[in-house]
A and B are shown apart, each in its own frame.
Chain A
């Protein structure tokens, strides 16, 4: 991604692929992830090789992975969606409520309702941001509180318990197919679909263009508003899906479900190399970032890091990612200037 920009023609596609693989942020983060898993496994082999360890390694990140993919798409357009935690809480509680009020409702219908409600809430965000021309940070900070307020009003002190939901639904949260948990498969399918769209589809490339320079994108004739709204709808829909998944996995939902998870989603995207000012990064990176964040949280206690220090480690990781991002950007711009001066 760096050298190839300067001189794309001198390398074969295989060489380019190899150098991208070696120098990309995604592989750097993946390497850190592998190291974390390796360390934890050396310390306590059950981290990887026991049934529960293997399952948790794959299953635990699936909720954050869904949120991080949506968040990455929004951040790529130079926006941010802070309301995903509240959307998750709303759809998670809605999921429980649907099972309580309509005991015979099919699971598929509940999943679809969760996605649709999430998409609708995302649409509200998108409309406010795109039409109101207000920074997404402000709008979604507002809807973070509004949506959370709705959950508080609705749920109050009630909580959804495991006994309120059918076993068939709850087992989605734990069942595996060929020793890969169902929820992980779901998250990876979503990841591949979104990643493929961003990389190859015209609409996906336009999102990058908008994030790189919104004004230029507008002057070029791109439908900036429509694309931005679309990104928020996608992010909301994925948060809605994550809410349903949350209910299935944890089996209990209270009004404070998912509080603070929006920052983890932003953190995962940033760690995974999605530039916070838009225009660059991939959902693959965000997904690996989510995986790393969750896994590091699970591994630190096993490695022996005190509870209180674990959050600090995550903070260092985020700052490190941003510093790295900045260094790479400076280096890249210097190279580009050199290349221009030589020409």
Chain B
């Protein structure tokens, strides 16, 4: 996902607000404790701090967080910078620490830049949960991981197998040839194909460089080069949209299935016109929901964030903390014609 565009204009606002926050922050390390982490039977206050406000992805995740907080009777707040620049979140973290909120749920713009601010907040008694995008482990109590590489690889193989009847030629349209995430997923997909789907043959992997135009042209080349192609899997949001766009107004529509990782807003047209049966991504709403419950469990002292800790997250069920304080949301979420209308991100 690409949510980290650095922008200079945030700097002015940042400097101003940081100055305010710092000057107010002078002697707050003691009084912070006085404000207290609202754990002792009081309502748990949870502050969500996304990368930036006005981002539909985080609007969705914060909606899930709000629902969870309301469910367990806590107090929900959402704050955040206008722009997702590396240290724009610092003043908001400082403010939250001073207000003595119980827990801060953060999607980090930078793994290190906000580290000191987070640790100050933790010293003041605020629990820190990261979601979507992690900091280095020493700066937070828990990280809610949206999906594991295995889960992502598996769901893509499963979708394409279902769509082409578990038989035939498929190709992969990836991002850049050196994209670490995509290459990991592709390797795992190859293993999964070899292990459980012997009749599916992966004939080619091409690279669209996460560029609309290149991905589009690579799709066209794939379709011409492999006349028997049954499906294209694109584990990148740009690639899947470009492939779907090409297939949707070519003779291959309906004959060649396109699936992979995408966002509902990008893919809506192609799902509705029948080019794409299903595609996957995690559900940001569930991600926010789980993060809120994890925050509550930390504040209540049910868990401390060490490996093996268990907690319950409402309708999502039971979760166990893994290595390095990571909690895995679960398998990626499949978007289809039936549920795509419920999402806007």
Contact = CB atoms under 8 A, between A and B. Distances in A.
A249 to B, nearest CB: 8
B224 interface: yes
A156 B225 contact: no
Interface stretch (A48-56, A233-241, A265-273, A282-290): A48-56
B213 A250 contact: yes
A163 B269 contact: yes
Contacts of A259: 211
Contacts of A163: 265, 268-269
A258 B209 CA distance: 12
A153 interface: yes
A28 to B, nearest CB: 25
A249 B219 CA distance: 14
Contact of A250 (B7, B212, B224, B225): B212
Contacts of B250: 51-52
B162 to A, nearest CB: 25
- Interface size of A as a range: 35 or more
Given A162-B269, A162-B270, A301 B7 contact: no
A27 interface: no
A46 interface: yes
Contact of B206 (A161, A294, A301): A301
Contact of B224 (A46, A162, A258): A46
A52 B245 contact: no
B98 to A, nearest CB: 29
B238 interface: yes
A298 interface: yes
Interface string B202-233: 00001100111100111011111101000000
Interface in A217-267: 246, 249-259, 261
Given A152-B5, A156-B5, A301-B206, A252 B242 contact: yes
Contacts of A257: 212-213
A329 B59 CA distance: 62
A302 interface: yes
Nearest to B8: A153
B84 A152 contact: no
Given A60-B220, A152-B5, A254-B212, A46 B266 contact: no
A308 interface: yes
Contacts of B241: 161-162, 251-252
A218 B206 CA distance: 52
Contacts of B252: 52
A294 B222 CA distance: 15
A255 B7 CA distance: 13
B251 A250 contact: no
Given A153-B7, A302-B224, A253 B269 contact: no
B4 to A, nearest CB: 8
Interface in B248-292: 249-252, 265-266, 268-270
Contacts of A256: 210-211
A163 B273 CA distance: 11
Interface string B156-170: 000000000000000
A297 interface: yes
A341 interface: no
Contacts of B9: 153
A167 to B, nearest CB: 9
Interface in A151-178: 152-153, 156-157, 159, 161-163, 174
Nearest to A304: B225
A342 interface: no
Contacts of A47: 224
Given A50-B251, A302-B225, A250 B220 contact: no
Contacts of A60: 217, 220
B3 interface: yes
A252 B212 CA distance: 7
A207 B243 CA distance: 42
A101 interface: no
A55 to B, nearest CB: 8
A293 B122 CA distance: 57
Given A52-B220, A52-B252, 8 more contacts: A50-B224, A52-B251, A63-B213, A161-B265, A246-B213, A252-B238, A258-B213, A298-B217
6 contacts: A46-B224, A56-B220, A159-B266, A163-B265, A250-B242, A301-B222
